[in-house]
Amino acid sequence: METVVLSFSGGRTSAYMTKYMLDNYKDKYNFIVLFANTGQEHPKTLDFVHNCDKYFNFNTVWIEAVVHHGQRKGNTAKVVTYDTADREGTPFEEVIKKHGVPNKSFPMCTRELKQRPIMSYMRSLGYKPRNYKIALGIRADETRRVSTSARQKNVIYPLVDAGVDKDMILDWWKDQEFDLEILEHQGNCTWCWKKSDRKHFLNIEENPSWYEFPKRMEKLYNHVGPQKDKSIPRNFFRFNRDTETMFKLYELSKNNIIPISKIEHGYGCSESCEIFPTEETNG
């Protein structure tokens, strides 16, 4: 029986995909459900993953990246649980300590915190990369996120093939006993550098403490890793702005911030980053 890894990112779409596959194809495939915790997930993301195990019997394996400093060795993985999962950002800091601050020019956080630990965990079970498929929670209405190298990487998109779109998933979740309970601008990764300025300003207004972690990382590690210009530190946010600059921009803009009720409602930051991310995809 072929093995399929169900990459559960902690969002509604990947949860729906996981349940869809377990409900409809358990006789065809051997499924392994994996959730890679970064240590900087929204607390309700961890609750959501836990509830999916409780209500849907996903039997999710929770893993975290293990970084090997001073070695030419990729990240491996350790198994954790809902109770023992890091909530302080330790896996994320270890990656930054070795590779530097991630941003648009150096977008390695998903690769190092999710993709490589998942592949390492599968190796620990005796699987070679070509011996299993990885299912990702991408919907039929977001095919621009489908990787151009999916076939070579043994990646599949069950919801694209099934024609499942955003409205179908939202309607389905309305009938369930629990939901993700994270607002669009908050996102699973609360301060993710991929967010728009508008979302950052709303988060700074409501939860400024979320930004203590990136602020500390910039102070400690903004000269770690390759630099396009060694005299310019690497910072998280768009246009290489640091966290303190984002707070200053918020102060200048706070009287003009668009209310939450009028913010854009794409799925983007309400979902965790999928492995094999958009920099490898069409569009």
Task: Flag whether pLDDT at 228 surpasses 60.
Answer: yes
Looking at residue 257, its pLDDT comes to: 66
Residue 257 lies in a domain: no
pTM: 0.90
Residue 20 lies in a domain: yes
State the residue for tokens 């600059």. Answer: 245
The secondary structure element, H or E, covering residue 77 is strand 76-80
- CATH of residue 8's domain is 3.40.50.620
Domain count, the chain: 1
| Average pLDDT value for residue range 109-118 | 96
Residue 35 lies in a domain: yes
Output the six-digit token pair for 98.
Answer: 């070795």
| Average pLDDT value for residue range 194-222 | 95
What are the pLDDT digits (tens) for 6-55? 999 999 999 999 999 999 999 999 999 999 999 999 999 999 999 999 99
Residue 282 lies in a domain: no
d(CA 224, CA 193): 18
Residue 223 lies in a domain: no
Domain of residue 34, residue span: 2-182
Residue 258 lies in a domain: no
Output the six-digit token pair for 140.
Answer: 């039929």
Distant-in-sequence, close-in-space partners of 33: CB < 8 Å, separation ≥ 6: 5, 6, 8, 18, 22, 58, 59, 60, 61
Q: Three-class SS string for 53-67?
A: HHHHCCCCEEEEEEC
d(CA 276, CA 107): 11
Residue 156 lies in a domain: yes
Kindly indicate the confidence band of residue 264, based on its pLDDT and cuts at 50, 70 and 90. Answer: very low
Task: Flag whether pLDDT at 209 surpasses 90.
Answer: yes
Looking at residue 259, its pLDDT comes to: 57
Residue 236 lies in a domain: no
